[in-house]
């Protein structure tokens, strides 16, 4: 079976409920943040991003909130569906020439 | 993402063997990356390339080498594989648009070093 994320923190939600996945980032100079979704056996997939001059950005069923004061990023998924079950990673970046740094990930499990 | 392909998808090798992981992309991106993923950890950057003549070490480059043969191809080599290189390996490409950079990942290569 899939061994990636075997020891990740896990969030278990009921289908139809809203999910909130949290991420604490490390660098106060980071100016760009991304949430990725990784399904079992697949590579990470871009979900939504946000720049540091914003505190909220909405996509389709997803919202990212950025709190620069406490260096905290969250991903909210509305009306969670079984297809949302995956590992979710946040990533931060500072400066155009620098690389993304990924967080450890959270496993989301959706109960039918 | 079918635009970024990796071969092989699975590989078992023995300690001391040399192996190469291939990555190809049809997205036309200049930037390409190799990451490693271990259980319970996020992605760690091994090497990256901003164009054909540019190669840069990432945070965990020891024991690895890369070759950017063309804009579309970026290969990762383990010169002498060791068991702690057992991991999932991902290739990614990126483009910068409007000051934002989004990385697109391949499906991954699962490597087991015995």
Task: Give me the DSSP letters along A24-68.
Answer: E-S-TT--EEEEEEE-TTS--EEEEEEETT-SEEE-SSEEEEEET
Nearest to A99 by CA among B30, B49, B52: B49
Cβ-defined contact of B41 to A104 (cutoff 8 Å): yes
Is the pLDDT at B108 greater than 90? The verdict is: yes
Model confidence over B45-56: pLDDT tens digits?
999 999 998 999
Share of chain B above pLDDT 70, in %: 96
pLDDT of residue A5: 39
Model confidence over A81-96: pLDDT tens digits?
999 999 999 999 876 6
Length of chain B: 114
Residue B95: pLDDT band by 50, 70, 90 thresholds? Answer: confident
Q: Is the separation of the CB atoms in A25 and A100 below 8 Å?
A: no
For residues B58-62, give the mean pLDDT: 92
Per-residue pLDDT of chain A (112 residues; tens, 9 = 90+): 333 334 578 999 999 999 999 999 888 888 899 999 999 888 999 999 999 999 999 999 999 999 999 999 999 999 999 999 999 999 998 766 667 888 889 999 999 8
Interface mutation target, options B6, B37, B51, B87, chain A, most CBs of A under 10 Å: B37
User: Of B1, B37, B103, which is closest to A4 when you measure between CB atoms?
Assistant: B37
Is the pLDDT at B42 greater than 90? The verdict is: no
pLDDT of residue B53: 86
| B1 neighbourhood in chain A, CB within 8 Å | 43, 45
pLDDT of residue B98: 66
């Amino acid at each position: 079976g899939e061994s990636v994320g075997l020891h990740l923190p896990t969030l278990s939600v009921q289908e139809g409920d809203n999910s909130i996945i949290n991420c604490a980032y490390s660098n106060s100079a980071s100016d760009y943040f991304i949430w990725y979704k990784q399904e079992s056996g697949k590579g990470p997939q871009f979900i939504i991003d946000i720049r540091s001059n914003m505190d909220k950005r909405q996509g389709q069923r997803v919202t990212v909130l950025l709190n620069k004061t406490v260096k905290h990023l969250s991903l909210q998924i509305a009306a969670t569906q079984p297809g949302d079950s995956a590992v979710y990673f946040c990533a931060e970046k500072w400066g155009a020439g620098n690389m993304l740094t990924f967080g450890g990930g959270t496993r989301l499990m959706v109960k039918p | 993402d079918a635009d970024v392909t990796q071969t092989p998808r699975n590989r078992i090798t023995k300690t001391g063997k040399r192996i190469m992981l291939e990555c190809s992309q049809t997205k036309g991106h200049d930037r390409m990356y190799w990451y490693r993923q271990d259980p319970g950890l996020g992605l760690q950057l091994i090497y990256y390339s901003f164009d054909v003549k540019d190669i840069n070490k990432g945070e965990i480059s020891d024991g690895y080498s890369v070759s950017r043969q063309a804009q579309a191809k970026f290969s990762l080599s383990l010169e002498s594989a060791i068991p702690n290189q057992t991991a999932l390996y991902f290739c990614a490409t990126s483009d910068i648009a409007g000051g934002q950079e989004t990385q697109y990942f391949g499906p991954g290569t699962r490597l087991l070093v015995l």
